[in-house]
Structure 1
């Protein structure tokens, strides 16, 4: 038997009636000849011959009695592909906006806890004879940064589908017995005092920064009091108080109680233009992508008469996983806190400030309260953690710190992919939103020679996501114009050697 990690369990506990944490990919398939498109049975047959390559997609949850401990993964005796792989059809004319509306509805539906935590939908009826495949997976199974890579196992790099030997994965988990689960739970409870003491000792020096990061009245005073408490009660701790922590997130129209309704939009940017900006100005692709997101958020705030005089606070997911960990789905997802200088009017200086923030983020990350708070939450009994996760205090134990939004960028396949011989023309990330992480998430992934961007938001907080996608193209044109005069950017910063992607 294989028990879920603390982080995976927290992803499960974070879900509420208005928040689902699954992530996904929308793969748009190129036009096909009449009658030559992909059928749902084709997709099921393809998956049936490949799913053994991705063991976690066969796993389902087995809960511990009374919720005393973290649940276990067990292999499904029968995988109902008729349930997991379904098809939907758009009514005419089948535009990208209609496709995005369909994905919005599918993304809003939670995954069933009684089955393996993934679903796949074949979408028919797009203009130009196109089709689409939308696949969503729970991060407890596969983290968002590698979901596309794992699902690419079900696709091919040539139009001719490859033959895959059918061999069961080495990682197979049998159902855990009740006595065995209760015995493990008793052992974990016995270790609870030591785990809480260790986690508290690591967390204490960071109480001032953590308290000030809370978006509640009196947070500054709480931080000052926590600082005094830290100096008096934790002098023996070897850790130093956190310095250079990101500012508390300001109030924005897209930070508020999220509903279960979603709105999704997507677009593609020429990767060559992004690379040209990176090369000419001496930054990284992450710098450029984050600067583009900063620009569109600035314009969105201006359009809504809500431009603040401070930067936004964003979180950028990073995953640290080894091949051995991937086989057991034992990943460790962390979030880099970064500042988005939407209060900077000059596009070149905005890019420079984004670079500075991303450069400093790794240093802040090593001592960031977010990771320590998550570890502290992991030490709590699951029953208590599940109760807290459904209260306003859930921000203290969830894997996402209080931020304005999440921005992600991942390198995807450089070569074209094919599904049953049909070329995939775009791979657009479909992420998640919540009260804690903000009502909008911008995710980008390179694919071939373009950068595919998916934006998902709470429909009530950000109803105009298509305006944001249009502004991405304008933002890229703005940065491209800066490359015509490199001196425009360089006088107030030292020479910088271009970094690899």
Structure 2
């Protein structure tokens, strides 16, 4: 039995407190070749299950929030419940695939079972098939979810040998034992906090620096809670979702940053900025300064923590310069905004608060998450997450993985979200929208148009350099 971290538990709380909201993350993996037979694919997953213990565990919340939710073995685990199979209607292109994704991600995962599903999708053009993986956010973040591909899939066309499976489920813990364990944990909290305080006092310089950097970061975050300019990008959510996608290549992004400056993340965030500008203009709205603030998750895994299934993220709250018409100016403004946020230590502040939450009594933390889910937020308009995926080709039963298209859940008043994932030389943008956002394809097209404009700007810059 394992306990969730407070951050993991928060994603369960959000789902509980927001009717109709599903907090599952997902992605679409597209493969070459004919789809495998149902039993063939089931055998593949069976051979990988020993490497992913969470896939055979259920989540359980404790009465009265005396402790964080726990993971425990599903004594009646049935792989068949988690493996689904479907087919796209003709012609089986992006539009049909996006419609299927929206339907699958509209439904919540069943809490009476381990919190994941795999959908094998046939009917794609060019003799291709897809695998939609759907996993609850309390289990993984975007990085950990992507790392699962390296566990389930092979790094060569020749399938690797399966892992010996001697799994025997442990009996489910009784409510009495869970409460007793939680109470023991609570009684030990003061002693643990005293030890931590003693260690901190013995390192006064480090303590002073942390207090200063966290204080500066919290001050910056306090500025970010101011309401964003009112627009159609925020509002109430239904239980249903739409999905759209856009594409580019790693080579194109690198060419842009080489000529125009910035990081990979700066370039793709500038493209998303152009997409939101296009969406607002298409709706007859004037994109003004400070009208789009986005939550940008940041991976904070330390070296050696790759492959750990949980949430290890901090965040930045960035203003997207949708008011700027010139795409090169937008990229420069995005770059300046992210550099400013990094210098203000927002990431460090959120990370330290998350770590401190692990050491506080859970009964004090859970109500705060619940209250936050009920209070309407008006400062953040969207979420944009960028996850670097595998850089080497992967295979499923000898079939090559062609691309991975990510999905990010939305909640609160955020009616759209964008997830970006790179795999080998492909970069995919997955756009999530509430079902009432019937025009999210405009956002997807705007992202691709913005990338084309940035690429043209990069070529002009290269020509000027050669002439000079």
| TM-score normalised by length of structure 2 | 0.84
CA distance in 2, matches of 1:192, 1:244: 31
CA distance in 2, matches of 1:377, 1:3: 14
CA distance in 1, matches of 2:118, 2:463: 48
For residue 128 of structure 1, give the secondary structure of its aligned residue in structure 2: coil
Which residue matches 1:20? 22
For residue 126 of structure 2, give the secondary structure of its aligned residue in structure 1: helix
Does structure 1 conserve the Cα–Cα contact (< 8 Å) formed by 2:47 and 2:165? no
Matches within 5 A, 1:146-295: 146-167=144-165, 175-187=172-184, 240=215, 242-245=218-221, 247=224, 248=226, 249-295=228-274
Asked if 1:404 corresponds to 2:381, the answer is: yes
Which residue matches 1:349? 329
Q: Deviations 1:371-425 (Å, cap 9, x if unpaired)?
A: 67767987887678666656675459xxx99511111111111222211112221
Which residue matches 1:441? 417
CA distance in 1, matches of 2:369, 2:114: 23
Which residue matches 1:212? none
CA distance in 1, matches of 2:397, 2:347: 47
CA distance in 2, matches of 1:281, 1:97: 33
Asked if 1:419 corresponds to 2:432, the answer is: no
Pair 168,430 (structure 1): closer, same or farther in 2 beyond 3 Å: farther
CA distance in 2, matches of 1:190, 1:307: 56
Matches within 5 A, 1:316-355: 316-322=296-302, 329-355=309-335
CA distance in 2, matches of 1:434, 1:489: 46
The answer to which of 133-142 and 401-410 deviates more is: 401-410
Counterpart selection for 1:459 from 428, 435, 441:
435
- Structure 1 residue 20: deviation in Å? 1.2
- Structure 1 residue 87: deviation in Å? 0.4
For residue 165 of structure 1, give the secondary structure of its aligned residue in structure 2: coil
Structure 1: state its 5+ residue gaps: 197-236, 491-501
- Structure 1 residue 137: deviation in Å? 0.7
Q: Deviations 1:340-392 (Å, cap 9, x if unpaired)?
A: 11111222111111001111222334478766776798788767866665667
For residue 255 of structure 1, give the secondary structure of its aligned residue in structure 2: coil
For residue 98 of structure 1, give the secondary structure of its aligned residue in structure 2: helix
CA distance in 2, matches of 1:395, 1:364: 26
Supply the RMSD in Å over aligned alpha carbons: 3.3
For residue 419 of structure 2, give the secondary structure of its aligned residue in structure 1: strand
- Structure 1 residue 271: deviation in Å? 1.9
Does structure 1 conserve the Cα–Cα contact (< 8 Å) formed by 2:31 and 2:130? yes
- Structure 1 residue 427: deviation in Å? 0.3
Aligned length: 441
Which residue matches 2:201? none
Pair 114,345 (structure 1): closer, same or farther in 2 beyond 3 Å: same
Pair 18,389 (structure 1): closer, same or farther in 2 beyond 3 Å: farther
CA distance in 2, matches of 1:38, 1:146: 26
The answer to which of 384-393 and 421-430 deviates more is: 384-393
Which residue matches 1:208? none
Counterpart selection for 1:474 from 443, 449, 452:
449
Q: Deviations 1:322-343 (Å, cap 9, x if unpaired)?
A: 5775676354222111121111
For residue 74 of structure 1, give the secondary structure of its aligned residue in structure 2: strand
Which residue matches 1:309? 288
Pair 395,276 (structure 1): closer, same or farther in 2 beyond 3 Å: farther
- Structure 1 residue 321: deviation in Å? 2.8
Does structure 2 conserve the Cα–Cα contact (< 8 Å) formed by 1:51 and 1:57? yes
CA distance in 2, matches of 1:142, 1:46: 21
Which residue matches 1:61? 59
Q: Deviations 1:170-208 (Å, cap 9, x if unpaired)?
A: x98763343332223334555789999xxxxxxxxxxxx
Q: Deviations 1:5-25 (Å, cap 9, x if unpaired)?
A: 111111100003221111011
Pair 489,81 (structure 1): closer, same or farther in 2 beyond 3 Å: farther
For residue 483 of structure 1, give the secondary structure of its aligned residue in structure 2: helix
Q: Deviations 1:455-489 (Å, cap 9, x if unpaired)?
A: 111111x2112222222221111111211343999
For residue 310 of structure 1, give the secondary structure of its aligned residue in structure 2: coil
CA distance in 1, matches of 2:425, 2:235: 37
For residue 130 of structure 2, give the secondary structure of its aligned residue in structure 1: strand
For residue 343 of structure 1, give the secondary structure of its aligned residue in structure 2: coil
Pair 356,478 (structure 1): closer, same or farther in 2 beyond 3 Å: same
- Structure 1 residue 82: deviation in Å? 0.8
Does structure 2 conserve the Cα–Cα contact (< 8 Å) formed by 1:320 and 1:331? no
